[in-house]
Amino acid sequence: MLSPNLILLYVEDPIASAGFYTGLIGREPVAAFPSYVAFELENGLTFSLWSTQAKDFVSSGTGHRSEIAFLVKDDKEVERLYAEWQGRGIRIEQELKTAVFGRTFVALDPDGHRLRVCRPDG
């Protein structure tokens, strides 16, 4: 059985985006090159940033039609992160609201990728 173990985002400037994500997730990259940066996460997942300017980059897709979600323990933590991220100047696309699954908001990284914070269902 295959299990996904890598999330790869296409970005304009991997080094600049790495600075954003280092501050957001609280860890340094394990690899950093001008066209590619990788973070190893505690859950075994690798989170990477790949330059759209890299000579071997090929993609016919456009737009951001997905989200990276950060599931946190409760609504209070969602609200705490919302305030923290606003204070850090992170762009908020969807203001803090209560959805059917609880409190949530969506922020944007420097390349416009959607970052949702919410609690698990249940």
Per CATH, the architecture of 6-51 is what?
Answer: 2-Layer Sandwich (3.30)
- Give per-residue pLDDT as tens, 17-50: 999 999 999 999 999 999 999 999 999 999 999 9
- By CB neighbour count within 10 A (0-12 exposed, 13-18 middle, 19+ buried), where does 77 fall? middle
What pTM does this model have? 0.85
Name the band, by pLDDT with cuts 50, 70 and 90, for residue 92.
very high
Rounded to whole angstroms, the Cα distance separating 93 from 108 reads 6
Q: How far is CA 114 from CA 10, 30, 53, 70, in A?
A: 13, 23, 21, 11
CATH of region 67-118: 3.10.180.10
pLDDT for 60: 65
Give the SS3 label for residue 28. Answer: coil
Could you state, in order of their start, the residue ranges of all structural domains in the chain?
Answer: 6-51, 67-118
